Amino acid sequence: MLDPAEELKELERLSLRRRMYEVESPQAAEIVVEGKRYINFSSNDYLGLAQHPEVIEAFRQGLSKWGAGSGASRLISGSLSPHLQLEQRLAAWKGKSACRVFANGYSTSLGVVSGLLGKDDVVILDKLSHASLIDGAKLSGATIRIFPHNHVGKLQSLLEKYKSHSGRVLVVTEAVFSMDGDLAALREIVRLKEEYNALLLVDEAHALGVRGTMGLAQELGLSGSVDLHMGTLGKAAGVAGGYLACEEELAELIIHKSRSFIYSTAPPPAQCVAALKALEIIHAEEGTQLRNRLWGNIQLFAKLMQMEVWPESAIIPISIGESKRALEMSSALREQGVIVPAVRYPTVPRNTARLRVTISAAHRREHLEALAKLLLDR
């Protein structure tokens, strides 16, 4: 039997050991760790809605009216009204007839992909798809095929190979890729999926509220061509939870075949109330203002860093290469009062370690200037 202590030592040797730390303040542009205040570039709260007073008040009112928990799985104890209200609004915003809300993004990916596919089906994933999507594909038992990141030529050759396949053929991509911050070649992917009559799942986790109100597919006018709109409510929406928006028949299959939906206690109703309020803000004029502020911050940081390629999202990776060096740089930044995580294998491929900078509408100019100076002086 492998000794856990020895395994941890090996992870340490490879600079791959992870450590958690306690944050003694709410998640925001500035946080307190061990009594010291830091500028925070690690959060996916892109619009700063986690600390929005209306979202907090909605959560408070939801707790007062609905209590702290949901009681059980929705197939056991029923759907509380906030679950249904959130689903109905998400479906409408996505232009679909139905929606299913999950406890979090990981359980959404896992449950949707493994629930809708089986051993007679094929799933074709972009190589940089999130781990949760890959895990769902593995769990499904379907034939898994990978195409190089955004390589539509390889995607076409795979679709050509399976064009007469009798089972489902599902193409999977993220809209904004979580570790690289770039966009899917969505127009080309949609064209191919329609040409070959495949299904398309787009994970909008890091695009919702950042690329338009509801993500990249909506921004490009392609919502109607995406069969499965997936995303989370714990990033730009600032709360928690995951969702799948699709047509009614697929949504019905979810409650019969998605194990993470069937066998999980439903999300707390107050969480759904708060998430709905956050989405309402995103769709209002205030949401447009927050998004403009976010993009102003992204563009300012790119200018300060003298970037030749303009960022396509709020995720800006600073390529380092070696895991040890990335850890050292993250630690050095922390000593200077700035938190930027070092992302290493297996989250990213070997020898592609990076600092993952995430920009928020809540950041101030001095925050961005401080980080840019430290990075340029490294």
Confidence at residue 309, expressed as pLDDT on a 0 to 100 scale:
87
Confidence at residue 2, expressed as pLDDT on a 0 to 100 scale:
75
Residues with Cβ within 8 Å of 56's Cβ and at least 6 positions away in sequence, in order, are 274
Percent of the chain with pLDDT over 90: 92
Q: Tell me the per-residue pLDDT of 320-355, one tens digit each, with 9 for 90 and over.
A: 999 999 999 999 999 999 999 999 999 998 999 999
Confidence at residue 378, expressed as pLDDT on a 0 to 100 scale:
75
Answer yes or no: is pLDDT of 60 > 90.
yes
Q: Tell me the per-residue pLDDT of 274-293, one tens digit each, with 9 for 90 and over.
A: 999 999 999 999 999 999 99
* Burial group, residue 64, by CB count within 10 angstroms (0-12, 13-18, 19+): exposed
Average pLDDT of the residues in 37-60: 97
Residues with Cβ within 8 Å of 110's Cβ and at least 6 positions away in sequence, in order, are 132, 135, 136, 139, 260
Both tokens assigned to 288: 């447009």
Q: How far apart are CA 328 and CA 335, in angstroms?
A: 11
Known active-site residue 163: no
**36-40 sheet: strands from edge to edge:** 30-33, 36-40, 338-339
Active-site entry in 87, 121, 203, 204: 203
Task: Give the DSSP letter string of 192-231.
Answer: HHHHTT-EEEEE-TTTTTTSTTT-HHHHTT-GGG-SEEEE
Active-site entry in 40, 178, 223, 323: 178
Average pLDDT of the residues in 106-117: 96
Q: Are 304 and 335 in contact (CB under 8 A)?
A: no
Known active-site residue 235: yes
Q: Which residue from 118, 95, 127, 75 is spatially nearest to 256, judged by alpha carbons?
A: 75
Known active-site residue 104: no
Active-site entry in 52, 130, 193, 367: 130
Known active-site residue 206: yes
Cis upstream peptide for 346 (omega within 30°): yes
Both tokens assigned to 168: 């489902």
The three-class DSSP label of residue 262 is helix
Active-site entry in 52, 206, 277, 363: 206
Q: Which helix (H) or strand (E) holds 146?
A: strand 143-147
Confidence at residue 121, expressed as pLDDT on a 0 to 100 scale:
97
Known active-site residue 203: yes
Active-site entry in 87, 121, 126, 174: 174
Q: Tell me the per-residue pLDDT of 240-271, one tens digit each, with 9 for 90 and over.
A: 999 999 999 999 999 999 999 999 999 999 99
Q: Are 172 and 113 in contact (CB under 8 A)?
A: yes
Instruction: Decide the pairing of beta strands 36-40 and 98-102.
Output: unpaired
Q: Where are the domains of the chain?
A: 53-283, 318-353
Confidence at residue 301, expressed as pLDDT on a 0 to 100 scale:
97
Cα distances (angstroms) measured from residue 60 to each of 27, 91, 97, 344: 18, 25, 30, 38
Confidence at residue 105, expressed as pLDDT on a 0 to 100 scale:
93
> Which pLDDT band, with edges at 50, 70 and 90, does 1 fall under?
low
The CATH class for the domain spanning 53-283 reads: alpha beta
Amino acid (one-letter) located at 343: V
Q: Which residue from 127, 139, 82, 132 is spatially nearest to 107, judged by alpha carbons?
A: 132
Residue with tokens 């709020």: 314
Q: Tell me the per-residue pLDDT of 169-201, one tens digit each, with 9 for 90 and over.
A: 999 999 999 999 999 999 999 999 999 999 999
Residues with Cβ within 8 Å of 295's Cβ and at least 6 positions away in sequence, in order, are none
Known active-site residue 363: no
Q: Which residue from 113, 101, 109, 99 is spatially nearest to 248, judged by alpha carbons?
A: 99
Task: Give the DSSP letter string of 265-284.
Answer: PPPPHHHHHHHHHHHHHHHS
What is the average pLDDT score of the chain? 95
> Which pLDDT band, with edges at 50, 70 and 90, does 377 fall under?
confident
CA 250 to chain centre: 22
